[in-house]
Structure 1
Amino acid sequence: MAGIATAPEQLTSAPPRARRRLLSRVPFLIVGLYLLVAVLGPPLIGYDPVNTSLEDRLLPPGSETSTGGTAWFGTDGLGRDVLAQIVHGTRTSVLIGVSTVAISCLVGVVLGAVAGYFRSAVDAVLARVFDILLAFPAILLAIVIAGAFDRSVLLVVVALSATGWISFARVTRGVALSIRERPWVDAARVLGVPRRTILLRHVLPFTAGPVVALATLEFALVVLAEAGLSFLGIGLPASTVSWGQTIANGKEYLEPQWWISTLPGIALSLLIINVGILGDQLTARHRRGRTD
C-alpha cells in the first residue's frame, strides 16, 4: 500500500544519527541474548557430558539422531550434541566471567581507593605490589595456578582473579587521587567528617563510570582466558562443559567435521567482540560525560 514503508526502507531513509544510534544498540542486544541463553538455555536443552552415543558420532548439522531428534549443529567424535555444548558452555563462560570480574572489582576498588585517598605508606606499598604483579604475564600466572591444583570452576575463578584486580585497582587509584583534591572533599574534611565516610560518600561514587566500563572489557578477557585454559586441558574438569573443551575436542576433525570446533569458536568470538564494543561505548560515554 502507498505511504507505508517497510523496515529496511525506514532504516535506509533514517537520518545518519538515527542509524548510528540503532547500530550502537546491536552489542546490547547480542550480549543480552547470550545472558538469556545462559539463564534459560540449559533447562530447556538437557545435556550429559559423560553420556555418549557412538551411533550418532560425527553427524553433520541438521542430521537426525538415533533417538529421533535433530542435531541442529551436528555431533562430535563421541556423539554428543554440539548445540547443547554451546548452550551449556554459554552458562559456564558467563558464570566464570561474572564471578571473576566481581571478585576482581571488589578487591581492586577497595585497594585502589584506599591507596589513592590515604596516600602515605599505604599507597607506596600497594604501588610496589602493582608493579611486581604487572611484571608477570597474567595468562602465564593463571596457567601456573590452574596447573598446580585439581581442575575446578573455583580454581579457574581464583587463577583469573589473581591478576584481574590490578586493572581495577589502578583505575580506582587514579580517580581517588583526583577526587581527593576537589573542593567538596576539602570542605568535608574541614567539617570533621570521618575519612571513611568521605571515602564512601564523596570518592567511591565517582569511580562507578570507569569501573563499569573496565568491567565489560575485563569480562571479555576472562571469557577468552577461561576458554584458553580449558582448550589446554588445565581449566575446567570434563564434567563441566566449556567452549574451550568443545573446540579442543574437534581439533582432530578440523577438515572433514569442521562444525565441532568452528561453531563454538564463532559463539566465543561473537561474545568477545560484542562485549568489547560495548566496553568501548561505555568508555566513550564516560569520557563525554567528563568533558560536558
Structure 2
Amino acid sequence: MATLAVTRPLAVRRVGGWLGKIPYAVLTIYALVAAIGPLVIDYNPIRTSLDDRLLKPGSHLSNGGTAWLGTDGLGRDVLAQVVYGARTSILIGIATVAVSCVVGVTIGTVAGYFRGWLDTFLARGIDILLAFPAILLTIVIAGAFERSVPVVVIALAATAWISFARVTRSVSLSLRERAWVDAARVLGVRRTSILLRHVVPFTIGPVVALATLEFALVVLAEAGLSFLGIGLPPSAVSWGQTIANGKQYLDSAWWISALPGIALSLLIVNIGILGDQLTARYGRGHLN
C-alpha cells in the first residue's frame, strides 16, 4: 500500500510533466513551419489557377502536383496558405508584442516609480483608453490607412501596450519601497540606473507571462482584421483572409475555411496554456 501511495503521485507528476510540455512542442512546430515552410513551398498569393479550383484534399493538380489540403475558389493551394499564414501571424505577433512591451514597460515603470503628478497623468490616460473597446479602436486605426503590415502592427499595438503598462506600474509601485532601492537612493545612484538595474529586472517574469497571452490575442485580432478585409493587403497571406475566402463555400468546400481555422485555434489554445503556466510560475510571488 505504501508503494502504491508513493508510485501514484510520481506517475501523476510524470504525466502532468509531459502534458505541460505539449504547448512547447506545438509552438516549436509552428515556428519551424513559419521559418522553413516558405523556403520549401513556392507560392504566389496573386497567381490563380481556375482549372484547379475547389479541389478536395489529396487531389492532383493540373501541373502534376498534389493539393494535400485542397484548393480554394481561385485554385490556390490551401496548404501553402496555411504555411505562409503561420509566418505572417508569428511575425506580426512578435512585432506587435515587442512594440507594446517597450512602450508599456517604459510608461508603467516611470509612472510607478516616480508617482506624483506624472503617475496621475499616465494612469488617467490609461483609464481613458480603457474606456474605448480595444477592437473598435484597432479597426478605426487599421481602416483609416492603406492596408499594410506596419499599419496592422501599429493598430494592434495601440491598445496592447496598456496591459504591459498596468502590470509594470503595479510592480514598480511595490519595488520603489524595497530596501535595496532605498539604499541605492541613499548612495546617490542616478534614477535612470535605479530603474534599469533595480526595478526593470524584477518586471521580466510578469512581463514574459503577459507577453505570451498578449501574443495569442494579437494573432487572433490580426486574423479578425484580415477576415473583415481591413488588415493585410492581398499580396500578404493571412489565415483570416483564407477563412474569409472560404465562407461562401462552407457547404461544398469546407476545407478552405476549416483547415486554416483549425491551425489558428491550435496556435491560440497552446499559447494560452503556455501563458497560464508562465503566469502561475512568474505572475505570483515574484517579489517574495
TM range (shorter): over 0.9
Alignment partner of 1:161 is 2:148: no
Q: Provide the C-alpha distance between the structure 1 equivalents of 2:14 and 2:37, rounded to a whole number of angstroms.
A: 33
Offset of residue 14 of structure 1: 6.9
Q: Deviations over 1:173-228 (max 9, x none)?
A: 00000011001111111111111111110000000000000000000000000000
Alignment correspondent of 1:177: 173
Alignment correspondent of 1:217: 213
Offset of residue 130 of structure 1: 0.2
The percentage of counterpart residues that share the same residue type is 71
SS state at 1:77 partner: coil
Distance 1:291 1:176, change over 3 A: closer
Q: Provide the C-alpha distance between the structure 1 equivalents of 2:192 and 2:144, rounded to a whole number of angstroms.
A: 39
Distance 1:85 1:188, change over 3 A: same
Alignment correspondent of 1:5: none
- RMSD, matched Cα: 1.4
Alignment correspondent of 1:128: 124
Q: Provide the C-alpha distance between the structure 2 equivalents of 1:183 and 1:136, rounded to a whole number of angstroms.
A: 39
TM-score (norm 1): 0.94
Offset of residue 138 of structure 1: 0.7
Q: Map of 1:142-291 to 2, 5 A cutoff?
A: 142-287=138-283, 290=286
Offset of residue 288 of structure 1: 5.9
Alignment partner of 1:103 is 2:99: yes
Unaligned runs of 5+ in 2: 1-7
TM-score (norm 2): 0.95
2:15 to 7, 14, 19: 19
Unaligned runs of 5+ in 1: 1-11
Q: Provide the C-alpha distance between the structure 2 equivalents of 1:34 and 1:86, rounded to a whole number of angstroms.
A: 11
Query: Following TM superposition, where does structure 1 have runs of at least 4 consecutive aligned residues deviating by more than 6 angstroms?
Result: none
Q: Map of 1:51-90 to 2, 5 A cutoff?
A: 51-90=47-86
Q: Provide the C-alpha distance between the structure 2 equivalents of 1:101 and 1:19, rounded to a whole number of angstroms.
A: 32
Q: Structure 2: which amino acid aligns with 1:172?
A: T
Distance 1:69 1:130, change over 3 A: same
Q: Provide the C-alpha distance between the structure 1 equivalents of 2:21 and 2:275, rounded to a whole number of angstroms.
A: 12
Q: Structure 1: which amino acid aligns with 2:137?
A: L
Q: Provide the C-alpha distance between the structure 1 equivalents of 2:9 and 2:63, rounded to a whole number of angstroms.
A: 50
Offset of residue 290 of structure 1: 3.5
Q: Provide the C-alpha distance between the structure 2 equivalents of 1:227 and 1:182, rounded to a whole number of angstroms.
A: 43
SS state at 2:37 partner: helix
Q: Provide the C-alpha distance between the structure 1 equivalents of 2:60 and 2:112, rounded to a whole number of angstroms.
A: 61
Q: Structure 2: which amino acid aligns with 1:226?
A: E
Offset of residue 120 of structure 1: 1.1
Alignment correspondent of 2:37: 41
Q: Provide the C-alpha distance between the structure 2 equivalents of 1:77 and 1:96, rounded to a whole number of angstroms.
A: 26
Q: Provide the C-alpha distance between the structure 2 equivalents of 1:13 and 1:137, rounded to a whole number of angstroms.
A: 46
Alignment correspondent of 2:5: none
Q: Provide the C-alpha distance between the structure 2 equivalents of 1:13 and 1:44, rounded to a whole number of angstroms.
A: 45
Q: Structure 2: which amino acid aligns with 1:244?
A: G
